[in-house]
Amino acid sequence: MSIIAIERVSVHSNRRPLNDQKVAELMQSIKANGLLNPITIDQNLNLIAGLHRLTACQLLGLDEIECRIVTCEDSDHARLAEIDENLIRNELEALERAELWLERDKILERIGQRAQSGENQYTKKGDESISPPGKTTLQLATEAGYNKRTYQLGKQIAKNIDPEVKEVIKKTPVAKSHSNLLKIARAGSKERETAEQAEQKAAEARRLLKHSEQEKLAKLAAEARAKQKEQQMIALQSTTAEIEAKQSVKTRKIKPNVEEKRSKNITLPLVNAGDEWLLERHLLYCGDTASDRFVNFLPSNAALAIATVSSAWNHDYLVNEAHVVAVIACEGQIHKFCTTQRMPFRFEWVLDNLYIAVYSHQSLLKPQKPAIEGIEGIVSYLMSLYTKPDSFVLAPFLGHAEVLIACERMGRICFAGDSNPENIERAIDRWQKWTGEEAKKENPR
């Protein structure tokens, strides 16, 4: 072990991002017990392992640090050692691990320690200059502790996701999921293939000094890459919305004081036609939700309207009141609805026996078909996809109050209504039981 001045340690720019909480915990430990595990550096004082420990010591104002020095042939071998140190850590997210696998492969290939396609351990047995033989994909996967397919798909994730999309993914729940990352990596695959082919042809045109052709191909490649990025961003938004929706449906979190409030006698109100009810930030109206009175209640900048098909649909106005309108219909209602409404159609999904049509005056790219079940899951997914906290959501048909309760869970503001007083009463009952609060009649008679 050696002790050197902290300021002499060099840190490469491609290091993993710091975890602030881990640094804070290390500071407390080092302050109490000293540095128990020295950092690792190469002979040129480049950091190989221990960035969190080094940062903690710097923040504590220490001038020197204990370190273990290893000798590396060159920068490639030093980086390999650094990658191997990182790969043994359990806190790596799936995206980080995939990127390290791909970078490690590239370095091994560059220094001649990666078996080429078609080679195996016997291919170059007679060539004594190759020692040791190049590592196969199976060997690398085994060393990493994963099967060959998972390892190959991991490298596909690292290679195929656009760099800017990766930056958005990092530090989100998506970065932890191999399967979700794979969905994003495969989005825009046709555009990626087009870009790769154009880039290869452009390189050949450059070699042959065909500058005009090279410029044309480079432009084609850039356009394809931009479309690939757009498709992957849509896939990321869809995947994120799916994660949030599933979490929302599973969640049974309630306000801290709700149990105490539930113990009080909160009565179920009697609702009459024409009533307006305030449920904290939400508004419920009992009456015709196609009437001018209801429309005048609505905010002018609603993000989303979610409606079910009624026997007498006269709600095309929704597309002028909300940026996106989603209509949910059961099998058998689809044809009649499509022939009576005049909203600008964008795309549709069919999930089990439910038909979801999306309308908007804006151009919308169709997200991947979500792996979501049930009305509550679909409602939560749509809200995650097209709204943010404090967004306004319109619901002209209450049903079983799925939209209202999803808004309460997810921090959105619901403007809802129904012509049936019993549906309003049921919605109020669900909301009161969920929050422990009491609904207030806005226009008592």
CA distance linking residue 231 with residue 188, whole number of Å: 5
Both 432 and 287 in a single domain? yes
Q: Helices (H) and strands (E) in the chain — how many of each?
A: 17, 13
Residue 285 bridge partners (DSSP): 276, 417
Q: Which domain holds residue 107?
A: 2-119+135-148
Q: Are residues 232 and 279 in the same domain?
A: no
DSSP string, 137-195: HHHHHHHHTS-HHHHHHHHHHHHHS-HHHHHHHTTSGGGG-HHHHHHHHHTTHHHHHHH
Any bridge partners for residue 66, and if so which?
Answer: 3
Q: Which of 192, 216, 250 is the last residue of a domain?
A: 250
Checking if the pLDDT of 332 tops 70, the result is no
DSSP tag of 123: T
Query: CA angle 184-186-188, nearest 5°?
Result: 90
Read off the pLDDT of each residue in 318-341 and give the average, rounded to a whole number: 84
Evaluate whether residue 142 is within a structural domain: yes
pLDDT: which is higher, 218 or 82: 218
- Residues 341 and 226 occupy one common structural domain: no
Report yes or no: 403 and 327 within 8 Å, Cβ to Cβ.
Answer: no
At 53, which CATH number?
Answer: 3.90.1530.10
Residue 227 belongs to a domain: yes
Residue 14 lies in a domain: yes
* Cis peptide bond prior to 389, omega within 30° of 0: no
DSSP H or E run through 393: strand 392-395
Average pLDDT, the chain: 86
Q: Is residue 129 part of a domain?
A: no
Q: Are the C-beta atoms of residues 23 and 60 closer than 8 Å to each other? A: no
Looking at residue 261, the DSSP 8-state letter turns out to be: H
Task: Give the confidence band of 130 by pLDDT, cuts at 50, 70, 90.
Answer: very low
Question: Do 295 and 355 belong to one domain?
Answer: yes
Residue 371 three-state SS:
coil
Asked if 166 and 192 sit in the same domain, the reply is: yes
CA distance 337 to 310: 9
Does residue 126 form part of some domain?
A: no
Q: Are residues 174 and 305 in the same domain?
A: no
Q: Is residue 100 part of a domain?
A: yes
Structure tokens at 43: 């002979």
Residue 197 to residue 205: CA distance in whole angstroms? 12
Q: For residue 154, is it within any domain?
A: no
pLDDT digits (tens, 9 = 90+) for 421-430: 999 999 999 9
| Residue 186 covered by a domain | yes
Distances (CA, A) of 192 to 181, 188, 195: 16, 6, 5
189/170 same-domain check: yes
pLDDT at 327 over 70: yes
pLDDT mean over 389-399: 94
Asked if residue 289 and residue 242 are part of one domain, the reply reads no
What sign results for the dihedral spanned by CA atoms 116, 121, 122, 127?
A: positive
Whether 302 and 434 have beta carbons less than 8 Å apart is answered as: no
Q: Residue 14 pLDDT > 70, yes or no?
A: no
| 75/54 same-domain check | yes
Kindly state whether residues 88 and 106 are assigned to the same domain. Answer: yes
Please indicate, yes or no, whether residues 428 and 391 belong to a single structural domain of this protein.
yes
Closest by alpha carbon to 222, among 198, 189, 254, 256? 198
Do residues 242 and 285 share a domain? no
Distance separating alpha carbons of residues 235 and 349, to the nearest angstrom: 15
Beta-strand relationship, 392-395 and 302-308 = parallel
Task: Name the domain count of the chain.
Answer: 3
pLDDT (mean) for 410-435: 93
Q: Euclidean distance between the first and final Cα of the chain, in Å? A: 84
The DSSP string of 315-326 is -TTHHHHEEEEE
Q: What is the pTM of this model?
A: 0.73
pLDDT digits (tens, 9 = 90+) for 102-122: 999 999 988 888 887 655 555
Which tokens hold the place of 389? 């906290």
Average of per-residue pLDDT across 389-393: 95
SS3 441: strand
